[in-house]
């Protein structure tokens, strides 16, 4: 396995994270080539054992990372972690405020030991009146306006993925990259933070701006007044659906020609977008009847030929066989913890035509404990002693012990 885009080669990241937001920040750096070491408690990150909607969290957000499992509350475990951090470029954490300070891993403590360290805190809220609160993706979506905008009026609804956790992780990674660039000239580390609540507010900023510009509150998306007359999901044959958009006057003309809508093509009033929006109640019913004469494939092929925006309504499980993703390298084949093969989404960027790839499968608990401890200079006897005292986890077969004698 290789990562063709290893732009962050030589950058060492220590990660004290769980769930989604913190691991997502580390994933981005790992996919870009950084060495990311995930420090897990003995017994492993509890995220590994989530079920229901959380069953895929660990596999999705922890590839390309190494795992060391140590008891941070023990003197030996704490010393191991501190030695790793002493030699690191970046530290990422997403624990509740004050939790790591009590263990001796707060920013002030680590910055004294390693002044060049970029310390990244992924939080519920940035500093302010709410900073003491416990937050989750759903909490942030509810209080940040996103749930209100997603559901129909009177029925706030969270988005259908952990969108705030993931984008909050992205903003954390962006801040880390900026701090690494600054360190090249300043020589100093920084404490950067990203948060769930402020991330949500940033994402709904367009709706805040709409209110500021127009004086009218933005309506929830299901009840919004669209900026375009044709921008909807339509029923087609066999109980299937297709989204169709016509978002410019040129597209409207091409659309009318393609579907033989001669009266609309010759209507000078309908040639202007705002006039079409005003007559949407006349346009949409006719199109619903028209599209019911097509199968999904027939309609999509016609729209693709014309060059109009369209989309099939796909489920997440449909994406495993999506031809574009399969053929373009958009899915990475990997082995997940406890066995099993799966293809999961690559990072959605391309660098010189290459997609960030897979260097390490999502790790087993403590999969690299022996390897990492040996690099710190511990002997095989010392490693075995830590294991016997249940201060570390490592694979039972010992494959990863390469102790320094």
- Give pLDDT tens digits for 92-148: 999 999 999 999 999 999 999 999 999 999 999 999 999 999 999 999 999 999 999
Measured CA to CA, the distance from residue 139 to residue 146 in angstroms comes to 10
Place of tokens 């899915």: 331
pLDDT digits (tens, 9 = 90+) for 293-326: 999 999 999 999 999 999 999 999 999 999 999 9
Percent share of the chain, pLDDT over 90: 93
CB 21 within 8 A of CB 122: yes
pLDDT band at 155 (very low <50, low <70, confident <90, very high): very high
pLDDT band at 401 (very low <50, low <70, confident <90, very high): very low
Tokens of 250: 């040129």
How many residues appear in the chain?
A: 405
What burial class does residue 399 get, using C-beta atoms within 10 Å of its C-beta: 0-12 exposed, 13-18 middle, 19+ buried? Answer: exposed
Q: Which residues of 110-135 are buried (b: 16+ CB within 10 A; e: fewer)?
A: bbeebeebbbbbbbbbeeeeeeeeeb
Strand 65-70, strand 90-93: pairing: unpaired
- 265 in helix, strand or coil? helix
pLDDT digits (tens, 9 = 90+) for 227-273: 899 999 999 999 999 999 999 999 999 999 999 999 999 999 999 99
pLDDT band at 394 (very low <50, low <70, confident <90, very high): confident
pLDDT band at 28 (very low <50, low <70, confident <90, very high): very high
pLDDT mean across residues, the chain: 94
Looking at residues 82-89, what average pLDDT do you find? 98
- Does the structure show a pLDDT above 80 at 25? yes
* Residue 404: predicted pLDDT: 34
- Residue-range domain boundaries for the chain: 12-203+323-393, 226-315
- 245 in helix, strand or coil? strand
When the candidates are 3.40.50.700, 1.20.5.510, 3.40.50.10540, 3.30.1380.10, the CATH number that belongs to 12-203+323-393 is 3.40.50.10540
CA 380 to mean position of chain CA atoms:
38
Tokens of 308: 């109009």
Place of tokens 């040129």: 250
Measured CA to CA, the distance from residue 194 to residue 118 in angstroms comes to 13
Work out the widest C-alpha separation in the chain, in whole angstroms. 86
pLDDT digits (tens, 9 = 90+) for 189-234: 999 999 999 999 999 999 999 999 999 999 999 998 888 999 999 9
* Residue 6: predicted pLDDT: 86
Measured CA to CA, the distance from residue 350 to residue 174 in angstroms comes to 17
> Which of these, 68, 172, 105, lies nearest to 400 by C-alpha position?
68
- Does the structure show a pLDDT above 60 at 405? no
Tokens of 324: 């574009």
pTM summary value: 0.93
Measured CA to CA, the distance from residue 375 to residue 111 in angstroms comes to 23
* Residue 395: predicted pLDDT: 80
Looking at residues 340-363, what average pLDDT do you find? 95
* Residue 225: predicted pLDDT: 80
CATH 3.30.1540.10 given to domain 226-315 = yes
CB 261 within 8 A of CB 255: yes
């Amino acid at each position: 396995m290789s990562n063709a885009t290893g732009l962050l080669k030589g950058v060492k990241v220590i990660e004290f994270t769980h769930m989604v937001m913190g691991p997502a920040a580390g994933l981005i750096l790992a996919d870009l080539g950084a060495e990311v070491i995930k420090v897990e408690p003995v017994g492993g990150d509890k995220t590994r054992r989530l079920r229901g909607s959380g069953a895929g969290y660990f596999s999705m957000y922890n590839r390309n990372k190494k795992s060391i499992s140590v008891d941070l509350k023990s003197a030996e475990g704490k010393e191991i972690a501190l030695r790793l951090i002493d030699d690191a470029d970046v530290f990422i954490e997403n624990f509740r405020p004050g939790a790591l300070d009590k263990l001796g891993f707060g920013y002030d403590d680590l910055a004294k030991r390693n002044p060049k360290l970029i310390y990244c805190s992924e939080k519920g809220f940035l500093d302010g009146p709410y900073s003491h609160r416990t937050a989750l993706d759903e909490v942030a979506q509810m209080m940040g306006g996103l749930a209100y905008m997603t559901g129909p009026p009177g029925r706030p609804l969270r988005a259908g993925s952990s969108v705030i956790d993931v984008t909050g992780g992205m903003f954390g990674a962006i801040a880390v990259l900026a701090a690494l660039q600054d360190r090249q000239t300043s020589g100093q580390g920084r404490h950067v933070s990203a948060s769930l609540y402020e991330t949500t507010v940033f994402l709904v900023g367009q709706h805040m701006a709409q209110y500021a510009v127009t004086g009218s509150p933005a309506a929830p998306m299901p009840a919004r007044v669209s900026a375009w007359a044709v921008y909807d999901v339509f029923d087609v044959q066999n109980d299937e659906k297709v989204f169709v958009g016509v978002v410019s006057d040129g597209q409207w003309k091409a659309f009318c020609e393609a579907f033989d809508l001669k009266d609309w093509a010759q209507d000078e009033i309908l040639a202007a977008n705002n006039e079409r929006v005003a007559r949407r109640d006349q346009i949409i019913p006719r199109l619903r009847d028209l599209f019911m004469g097509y199968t999904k494939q027939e309609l999509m092929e016609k729209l693709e030929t014309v060059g109009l925006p369209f989309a099939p309504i796909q489920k997440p499980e449909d994406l495993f066989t999506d031809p574009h993703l399969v053929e373009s390298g958009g899915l990475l084949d990997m082995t997940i913890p406890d066995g099993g093969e799966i293809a999961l989404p690559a990072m959605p960027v391309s660098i010189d035509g290459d997609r960030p790839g897979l260097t390490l499968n999502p790790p087993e608990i403590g999969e690299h404990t022996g390897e990492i401890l040996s690099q710190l200079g511990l002997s095989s006897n010392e490693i075995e002693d830590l294991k016997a005292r249940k201060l570390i986890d490592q694979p039972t077969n010992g494959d990863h012990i390469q102790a320094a004698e």
